[in-house]
Every structure is written in C-alpha cells, then in structure tokens.
Copies of this chain bind each other. A is one copy, B any other.
Amino acid sequence: MTAIDFWYSIGSTYSYLTVMRLPGVAAETGAHFRWRPFNVRHVMIAQNNIPFKDKPVKTAYMWRDIARRAEGYGLAPEIPAPYPLAGLELANQVAVLGGREGWGEAYTRETYRRWFEAAEPAGEDPNLSESLVAIGQDPARVIAVARSEEIVATLADATAEAMALGVFGSPSFAVGGEIFWGDDRLEDAIAWAGRGV
C-alpha cells in the first residue's frame, strides 16, 4: 500500500482524534503513515483561513462534534481543551526534532493526551517537560535543540512543503498528489492508498 503522509500541527483540535486513533487504524488496516509536523497557523494566516476565531457558534459546534466523535473512538477528552495554544510553534519544533530522533510520534501522542485529557496546553510547561520525561527524553536538551535555528528552519521547510502540496489545514493526509483534509477523511485516504497510486 502507498505510504500516507500524515500532516499535522500540534495546536489543531481535530488532530487530537487522529493522533490518538492512528496507531490502531494502522494496525487494523496495514496502512503506513509518515508523521509530518508543520505550522498550520502560518498556513492559515497566509491564506486568510480563520475557522474559529470570533465565531462562537461554529466553535461551540466544533467542541461538541469532537466530543461525540471521540466517544465513538473510545476516547474520553475533557471538552473544551485549552485553546488556542500560545506554544504552538515550540510544540511543533519539538515534534520535528522528535521525528528526526525517532520519538516524534510518542511525544505527539503524549502531549495531546495531556492537552485534551488533563487540560494542560501543549507547547508549554508542565505539559511539554512532562511529556518529554514520560517518553524518556531530557526536556532541557530537547527544548534547547528544538529552539535552534536549524529546527526552526526545518519546521518552516516542512510547512512550505505542505503548502506546495495544497495542504491548508490539520490533519491532512497526502497520498501521491491527493490531499484528504480532516480526521473524517482518514478512511478515504486509506482507500485511496489501497488503489496503489
């Protein structure tokens, strides 16, 4: 099956659903996912795509929708989670470093769990350091490297790559040249990957 790029930003609310269920989905379907952090806030500002700010009705719906779908996946988040995240960039810089060093997926899941299930915003303490400790990483080292020019540039490059593919929101799934946006398009992306494109 064609590999699927899972483009996500820590900071996206709906991505919680995908981050938490993706390992189970991968095991069940045999789909292979590459976890690709990017800065969705940069993309949305660039494209004047502001789905929730100053939109209380749509925002209230978003939380209700996430709560209902989480229940369907056997998840039990505290809704609403703290939002938006002040530490979005740092959270994703850490994810980029983790991707390079092999612990990006574990960190992403742990930081989302604390964000949605313990009301601790991702990208700042206590969530950030405790998530890193929980997966066996040294917070002082990781946070210093994550703030380096190199990692900042790597996240910016990934964001540019996502935009060039047509990604405009998180989560998105890229299969060859096809983009599928939203946790609710995960099954469509897997079906597309199964076509062997």
Q: Footprint of B on A, CB under 8 Å?
A: 47-49, 51, 54-55, 57-58, 60-61, 64-65, 68-69, 72, 163, 166, 168-169, 178-181, 184-185, 188
Copies in the complex: 2
Contact yes or no, A61 B188, CB < 8 A:
no
Of B54, B60, B166, which contacts A61 at CB under 8 A? B166
Question: In the assembled complex, how far is the CB of residue A70 from the closest CB belonging to chain B, in whole angstroms?
Answer: 13
> Looking at A49, A72, A184, which has the most chain B CB atoms within 10 Å of its CB?
A49
CB distance from A189 to the nearest CB of B (A): 10
Residue from the list B48, B57, B72, B185 in contact with A47, Cβ < 8 A: B57
B184 x A58 contact (CB < 8 A):
no
Is A55 a contact partner of B61 (Cβ separation < 8 A)? no
Q: Would A188 and B58 count as touching, CB distance under 8 A? A: no
